[in-house]
Structure 1
């Protein structure tokens, strides 16, 4: 009898061991195992998402004890890289730098983007928010928003305006300006902020709305002139630059666009992995160095739980769906 009990107990133990062997390592608390983590950036190098991704990945790799490799997959306002990330294994080894365009705007702008910005991902961290700034070449004849609007109104097709891609906050800022002011512009989409802003600097394109993360260094170096910011009030980092609403132009008194940067993982990623990533990235963002960098970029640091990020994202999806429909914005 005793022998039978021992055999039964041994069999049960073997059964438990076998079942544990089938449980992913991420659910057992051993993640990461030393395998490299891919930080997908759905834009080319040099843009806001790329800059932030590189700053975060360096420190994240150190605290997790593994390498975090940036993988730039640009195109369609962040949709190409986001779709790739949405199909990655939900095992904690793929994270994505999501933005207002890839995870709030594009779903209403493109007929098919290959993923659902809410259902295909789980939020990890909201890095921060920042307004967009309208810039022109340093020696451009345009010094105020009124100058820009008057010149565009007088030019067939309007002034040319670059963006990081159709559907990005840069593009939507331009479309809102055109819609509210009644002035036409020619939109020139690029595959990322890096190449777009270089063509503004060289004079190939008349102007551009871009995030303060990318534009600020060029404004400070004297290569670009800031015309106006899209925030409700002036930025502490650019106190001399007026808001669009301050331009005095009829129809623009309530103009406001705030871009944002976040980190997501594919839906189905184990909760312990998401919690660990959320905790470690929050610690990185809270350091004096990172806080200083974010504020220097003109970004407002964010501190939200994953549940709060999910609610914020849903509200943004709904908001931009209404804006795109009201302004009849279409991707060419």
Structure 2
């Protein structure tokens, strides 16, 4: 049995139950996997996107019929405790790790004394889902476009203030990268998550917020904040009226929040492929896709080699931003 979940997790499990006959056929035809009960380590608290995705996948694995699957919310040290637990797990493919982008591409440069090395210790299995990021501003800021924002910032002696969910988060670094590319002066104001940050932008205490579109769409629709641009390469189906930074003249800017699945490095290649194929079928069940998209997540099936390339490319990008902007986490 999968342990009791909060309401969001329970809804996600129901979505993952569709299309499971396809998963069962795939599991029987592939390499013998899983060989024992499966644990998916989600190193963050229940209810968020990492936890929801983990429970969808656990339900799909369990429904294949041969083994149970559970989610282990192994929290602490900004996800690093759970990551290290998977590093030390038996390399049989029955213990998996589900994490957001920053744990794989930012923390290795930003944080000191990590007990793991992503390239050395983990095999990338699949990119699971993505979510667009957006830049919003307070309604009293006299700008409506990114060019207007850049011009206005240069008239302010102290620059502008911008909020993010925390020091070293992908969204913090997105702000630093924008400042670097536009020669715009901005002061980072870190928060513990996006909720309070959004409240302070709505009230005008902070001028800008870099955040996930799903977390902010209701406030944008309600006129509480003004959306200036997406940080992704393409417009978002959920908000097609919001332009991208690329469209507005900030070239080479493509920052997307994403969530991926990994296994211990020594898991055999055939087992890695079997895991990928099984999980791909879970994610591509129509109802699963629809439900995750309703939460602002877009399902993807970017697999082993492509996912590994993405991790390496984004790690290099963020390492340059961290070093050039002298960003330190204190951890």
TM-score by length of 2: 0.73
Taking the aligned partners of 1:276 and 1:108, their CA distance within structure 2 comes to 31
Determine the structure 2 residue equivalent to 1:158: 160
Determine the structure 1 residue equivalent to 2:23: none
Select 1:306's aligned residue among 281, 304, 307: 304
Residue 54 of structure 2 corresponds to residue 53 of structure 1: yes
Determine the structure 1 residue equivalent to 2:84: 83
RMSD value, Cα: 3.5
**Change in CA separation of 1:81 and 1:241 when aligned onto 2, cut-off 3 Å:** same
**Change in CA separation of 1:31 and 1:54 when aligned onto 2, cut-off 3 Å:** closer
Alignment of 1:135-154 (within 5 A): 135-136=136-137, 143-145=144-146, 149=150, 150=152, 154=156
What are the ranges of 5 or more consecutive residues in structure 1 without an aligned counterpart?
1-27
Determine the structure 1 residue equivalent to 2:179: 178
Shift of 1:229: 0.1
Taking the aligned partners of 1:273 and 1:58, their CA distance within structure 2 comes to 19
Corresponding residue SS for 1:96: strand
Shift of 1:266: 2.2
Determine the structure 1 residue equivalent to 2:227: 226
Shift of 1:216: 3.7
Shift of 1:46: 4.9
Taking the aligned partners of 1:104 and 1:175, their CA distance within structure 2 comes to 16
Taking the aligned partners of 2:116 and 2:177, their CA distance within structure 1 comes to 26
Taking the aligned partners of 2:95 and 2:218, their CA distance within structure 1 comes to 30
Alignment of 1:144-293 (within 5 A): 144-145=145-146, 149=150, 150=152, 154=156, 156=158, 158-163=160-165, 165-193=166-194, 197=198, 205-216=206-217, 219-220=220-221, 224-247=225-248, 252-271=250-269, 273-293=271-291
Determine the structure 2 residue equivalent to 1:69: 71
Q: Give the conservation status (yes or no) of the 8 Å contact 2:153–2:184.
A: no
Shift of 1:264: 0.7
Corresponding residue SS for 2:307: helix
Q: Give the conservation status (yes or no) of the 8 Å contact 1:43–1:192.
A: no
Residue 94 of structure 2 corresponds to residue 96 of structure 1: no
Determine the structure 2 residue equivalent to 1:16: none
Corresponding residue SS for 1:245: coil
Shift of 1:158: 3.3
Determine the structure 1 residue equivalent to 2:34: 31
Greater CA drift, 42-51 or 229-238: 42-51
Q: Figure out how many residues of one structure are paired with residues of the other and give that number.
A: 298
Shift of 1:135: 2.8
**Change in CA separation of 1:311 and 1:146 when aligned onto 2, cut-off 3 Å:** closer
What are the ranges of 5 or more consecutive residues in structure 2 without an aligned counterpart?
1-30
Q: Give the conservation status (yes or no) of the 8 Å contact 2:164–2:193.
A: no
Corresponding residue SS for 2:132: strand
TM-score by length of 1: 0.72
Q: Give the conservation status (yes or no) of the 8 Å contact 1:105–1:320.
A: yes
